[in-house]
Amino acid sequence: MAALTVTSIRTDAALDPAALVFSERRASERWFCWSEPDRGFELAGWGTVAEVVSRGPGRFADVQSACAEIGRKLEVEAGDGPVWVGGFAFDDEGGRDPQWSSLPPALMWLPRVTVIRRGEETSVTVVGSGPGPDLDAVRNLPMLDPPAVGRAHVESVRSPGEYEEAVIAAVTRINSRAASKLVLAREVRVHAPAAHDAAALFGALREAFPSCFVFCVGTPEAAFVGASPELLIRRSGQTAATVALAGSARRSADPAVDAHLADRLLASAKDRAEHSFVVNRIKRELDRHSVWVDAGAEPEVIRVANIQHLATPVRAQLADARSAVELAGLLHPTPAVGAEPRAAAAEIAGLEQLDRGWYAGAVGWMDSAEDGEFCVALRSALLRDRTAHLYAGAGIVADSEPAAELAETEVKLDALLPLLTG
């Protein structure tokens, strides 16, 4: 690849990066939106100057190596450097089913135009010699309206009873010591009378879940949209940060009941055990590459719109230079979405009987300094024309009750179902 020029400008802080993407992108282009409303951070990009695709056990290393090689050929004239965006499927060979055809097991690309807003500062970066965006043409994201004609049809790909049977089978394997924990997911499809609107769904999620990582990975054929509460990794220089997130309870509109549910979650031996698997794995993986690792002594409860979780922040000072992509590869998949021990994840596919694709994978971005963020792709839906594929899972341990685990997936599905069914 010939050398490419990278140019950045500062612009109006009121600019909405996501709205700019949806007004400027062409139907044939990839696009990416990322929002952390509570942190005042927005990132969006469209077009493709370079892309890296891989699969198999070495996919994170492949992507890191190729991004670094391409980065050496970029000439930054002024301002911010380029940003890589994309993500990774849950499984090394994930995304075999047709709906995932445009999202391979590993995909990071360099957008032609990237817009980043940090608090009151906004920058627009253009890679190559093409025209920049029309900043005067930007509009607000559309409202998420119910379909004008007809009603959406909701379909559970496997029946609730089949999911409960899978939970029973998982508990049996855990009790036989094949694993300590297995996360089982299920799929629900929403068939609408008209094509699902990725821009409107992204905007609605950004409003409803301001404490989450709200993302949209778009291709000409599909859009993968979600609002994840779970940070996989944030890398800033020699500092790495993440949050162990496992153990869940529903919310209540009554503050007293909501507080009671949180107290019960903190006191739950089942949820505390499930949570400790995640904390211990993250600490072990980071400890091998760090000067020090610090994790909270006790989990805390974090609340999002419809659910609350046990959470333990983890920070580390890296002993050597490792990029955001490399660190994501070290941690993925955590026991919050996979299995403990990690090798037991091979048990999951046969029990779930679904292709997770990018659900529970890693979605995020990395800049030219190799800093960046990846979240675990939860509370998400894959939109393809009039069909939305939704996924939700629950952590299964020795004392899991099938009905309770099914109910947990229903709570998690409720993050997106009301928005997609009107």
Q: Which residues pair with 390 in a beta bridge?
A: 188, 381
- Catalytic residue flag (residue 181): yes
Name the phi and psi angles at 165, rounded to 5.
-65, -35
Say how far residue 303 (Cα) sits from the centre of its chain: 17
Distance of alpha carbon 263 from alpha carbon 301, whole angstroms: 9
Distance of alpha carbon 331 from alpha carbon 130, whole angstroms: 38
Q: At how many degrees (to 10) do helices 255-267 and 269-287 cross?
A: 60
Distance of alpha carbon 330 from alpha carbon 88, whole angstroms: 13
Say how far residue 233 (Cα) sits from the centre of its chain: 11
| Residue among 303, 227, 217, 169 at smallest CA distance from 31 | 217
Q: Rounded to a whole number, what is the largest CA-CA distance in the chain?
A: 63
| 386: its two tokens | 């009039």
- How far the first Cα of the chain sits from its last, in Å, is 47
- Catalytic residue flag (residue 270): no
Which of the residues 181, 187, 326, 352 is marked catalytic?
Answer: 181
Counting beta carbons within 10 angstroms of the beta carbon of residue 121, is it exposed (0 to 12), middle (13 to 18) or buried (19 or more)? exposed
Residue type, 111: P
Which of the residues 24, 230, 285, 408 is marked catalytic?
Answer: 230
Catalytic site positions: 181, 230
